Amino acid sequence: AQTVTQSQPEMSVQEAETVTLSCTYDTSESDYYLFWYKQPPSRQMILVIRQEAYKQQNATENRFSVNFQKAAKSFSLKISDSQLGDAAMYFCAYNQDGGSQGNLIFGKGTKLSVKP
């Protein structure tokens, strides 16, 4: 069975600095999708970024980028120029089929604090 591991329960970053959140996963499949979701105190689950395993190029969305290492089964999230609004729980998630046929398997999350 696929699993997702986030080894950092909590992280802290200074405003305007860069922080990297770690995620590893286990799967025997070659095609799959990986996601980072943000959950602020409002509890809304917000998609931050998504990566297709068949794409070698790392996904980027403005200040958010990933380092996808397929062989190492690693999928870290880098947040540049951190802002106070980035403070939230961040969940890494794995999906086999891209969002229609399968389950999203989540890690336990990393709580990110941003210091002014």
Partner 1 sequence: DAGVIQSPRHEVTEMGQEVTLRCKPISGHNSLFWYRQTMMRGLELLIYFNNNVPIDDSGMPEDRFSAKMPNASFSTLKIQPSEPRDSAVYFCASSFWFGGYTFGSGTRLTVV
**Residues of the shown chain interacting with partner 1 in the complex, contacts defined by CB under 8 A:** 35, 37, 42-47, 50, 91, 95, 98-101, 103-109
CB of 87 to partner 1, least distance (A): 18
DSSP, residue by residue, 43-84: ---EEEEEEETT--SPPEETTEEEEEETTTTEEEEEE-S--G
16 vs 47, beta carbon nearer partner 1: 47
CB of 14 to partner 1, least distance (A): 28
38 vs 82, beta carbon nearer partner 1: 38
CB of 16 to partner 1, least distance (A): 29
Cβ-proximal residues to 71 (8 Å cutoff; 6+ apart), any chain = none
Cβ-proximal residues to 69 (8 Å cutoff; 6+ apart), any chain = 75
82 vs 95, beta carbon nearer partner 1: 95
CB of 100 to partner 1, least distance (A): 4
- Taking the chain, what is the end-to-end CA distance rounded to the nearest angstrom? 41
CB 97 within 8 A of CB 104: no
